[in-house]
Amino acid sequence: MTIETVLELFKNEIKSARGLKGLSALRVRFLGKNGLFTDLMKGLAKVAKEDKPAFGKLLNEARVKIEEEISALEAAAKQAEIERKIKEERIDVTLPGKGVEQGSLHPLTLVRREVVEILTGLGFEVAEGPEVELDLYNFQLLNVPKDHPARDMQDTFYITDDILLRTHTSPMQARVMTTKKPPIRIIVPGRVYRVDDDASHSPMFSQIEGLAVDSHITLCDLKGTLEAFLKQLFTKSTKVRFRPSFFPFTEPSVEVDCSCPLCGGSGCRICKGTGWIEILGAGVVNPKVLDACGIDSKENSGFAFGIGPERISMIKYGIPDIRLLFENDVRFLKAFR
């Protein structure tokens, strides 16, 4: 193939080259490593010695011509692309801007913050502990030995025989009592885990435990504390009542009810017409727990209580199914802006 033939071929093909991709392909075809001009350069070896300078000059002039034409068309194509984008993608600054949706705190976060704020205002300190816990702290130091039937009340996720996902935040009470002497006043917020899943139970949920240990603490102190807490959490007219119950780590133990915050005690669907809602469990710390944690039960006593933020959220906001709290449905979460 001669120089004239290559130039004629380029003249015809450049007419059909479209856009930057087409020009790039044309550049490779004629000027690339394996292009047509490379073939012409290889043919230079066959040209007579006296004709090589003239042939080389023609070859170089033809190459420069093709390079300049392709470069000129590429520059024009780039400019055309810029102009197209300016025309099609321009922003009309006179149009109103797009609003940014504002998020909100999750209802569990709202309740947790409110509960912690009230209880710290009553003199409690926040303490947090591990969610993967030792059986020693989760059960044994809380008067629940290996063969205790109370373990059946809490369907547990075991990792090994001695390591588990904590079933309540009470283990932190044991951890604090084994390292600190009275007076002790702590609350322990955090996630806990049990093998349970339905409209009112979740395998993962949260608790806020409260513990006070000092000399001469009685059930009356517990009732006064919970009344002050629940009146701030709901309304000043909230009433509180205790019902006997059983927990291995408290003695006596009580279930705590409060007057329904939605109907004021007159009866509604939330309280099932009774006017009362079960709100938490509590009791006087069992002397066996104090002794096991190294605190003299003859000189000290205490009370403990456990609050379920999920339950409080469902009551405060009228949430019918606990699973709504964990599904992250945007429609549900928007209600709490």
Write the pLDDT tens digit of every residue in 123-175: 999 999 999 999 999 999 999 988 877 777 668 888 998 999 999 999 999 99
Per-residue pLDDT at 62 exceeds 70? yes
> Which residue range(s) make up the domain with 246?
107-336
If asked whether residues 44 and 121 sit together in one domain, one would say: no
Which residue in 329, 311, 330 sits closest to 115, CA to CA? 311
Rounded Cα gap, residues 261 and 276, in angstroms:
9
In a domain, residue 288? The reply is yes
- The mean of the pLDDT values for the chain is 87
Per-residue pLDDT at 324 exceeds 90? no
Rounded Cα gap, residues 194 and 167, in angstroms:
6
If asked whether residues 122 and 56 sit together in one domain, one would say: no
In a domain, residue 97? The reply is no
If asked whether residues 31 and 144 sit together in one domain, one would say: no
Number of domains the chain contains: 2
Rounded Cα gap, residues 311 and 326, in angstroms:
13
Write the pLDDT tens digit of every residue in 92-108: 778 887 887 777 888 99
In a domain, residue 93? The reply is no
pLDDT at residue 168, rounded to an integer: 92
Q: Which residues of 149-182 are buried (b: 16+ CB within 10 A; e: fewer)?
A: eebeebebeeeeeeebbbbbbbbbbbbbbeeeeb
If asked whether residues 197 and 237 sit together in one domain, one would say: yes
In a domain, residue 125? The reply is yes
Q: Residue 308 maps to which CATH number?
A: 3.30.930.10
C-beta atoms surrounding 240 within 10 Å: 18
If asked whether residues 143 and 275 sit together in one domain, one would say: yes
Of 88, 116, 146, the last residue of a domain is 88
Per-residue pLDDT at 221 exceeds 70? yes
Q: What is the mean pLDDT of residues 243-265?
A: 90
Of 88, 115, 137, the last residue of a domain is 88
Of the two residues 123 and 52, the one the predictor is more confident about is 123
Tokens 């806990």 belong to residue:
192
What percentage of the chain exceeds 90 in pLDDT?
46
Run of H or E residues at 207: strand 204-214
In a domain, residue 161? The reply is yes
If asked whether residues 229 and 262 sit together in one domain, one would say: yes
In a domain, residue 94? The reply is no
Residue 66: pLDDT band with limits 50, 70, 90:
confident
Per-residue pLDDT at 35 exceeds 80? no
Of 88, 120, 154, the last residue of a domain is 88
**85-93: long-range contacts at Cβ-Cβ below 8 A with a sequence spacing of 24 or more?**
none
In a domain, residue 100? The reply is no
Of the two residues 194 and 213, the one the predictor is more confident about is 213
| DSSP character at residue 324 | G
If asked whether residues 210 and 69 sit together in one domain, one would say: no
Global confidence as pTM: 0.66
Q: What is the mean pLDDT of residues 216-236?
A: 94
If asked whether residues 246 and 286 sit together in one domain, one would say: yes
In a domain, residue 25? The reply is yes
If asked whether residues 242 and 115 sit together in one domain, one would say: yes
If asked whether residues 251 and 279 sit together in one domain, one would say: yes
What are 187's strand-pairing partners? 126, 210
Burial class (CB in 10 A: 0-12, 13-18, 19+), 106: middle
C-beta atoms surrounding 85 within 10 Å: 10
If asked whether residues 52 and 180 sit together in one domain, one would say: no
If asked whether residues 112 and 78 sit together in one domain, one would say: no
